[in-house]
Amino acid sequence: MEEPLYSQDDLNYIYNPDLKKSVDSRYLISRLVDGSKFCEFKKEYGPTLVTGFAKLYGQEVGIISNNGILFSESSLKGAHFVELCS
């Protein structure tokens, strides 16, 4: 297990109490996963849904995160990713 490259204490400063302003979920993921290593799945396709693989406490995990409005491309991307993780 590797410690994240970015401090988890930054999570308190990244979070925005104004719910109308979004935060890119990649910033949150980079502060949680081992070594801040995140292998994104279909980054250019359906960009409002972030999907990818990482390690969390040494265990391989699939991560899905909403990064905006869920369009049909994003939904298809999410469904494909869930099938891969199963």
Q: Is 24 helix (H, G, I), strand (E, B) or coil?
A: coil
pLDDT at 80: 96
Q: How many residues are present in the chain?
A: 86
Q: 86 pLDDT band (50/70/90 cuts)?
A: confident
Q: How does pLDDT run across 32-64, given as a tens digit for each residue? A: 999 999 999 999 999 999 999 999 999 999 999
* CA 24 – CA 76 distance, rounded (Å): 20
10 versus 31: which is more confidently predicted?
31
Sign of CA dihedral 78, 32, 37, 58: negative
Q: How does pLDDT run across 63-85, given as a tens digit for each residue? A: 999 988 889 999 999 999 999 99
* CA 33 – CA 48 distance, rounded (Å): 20
Q: Which domains does the chain have, with CATH numbers?
A: 8-85 (3.90.226.10)
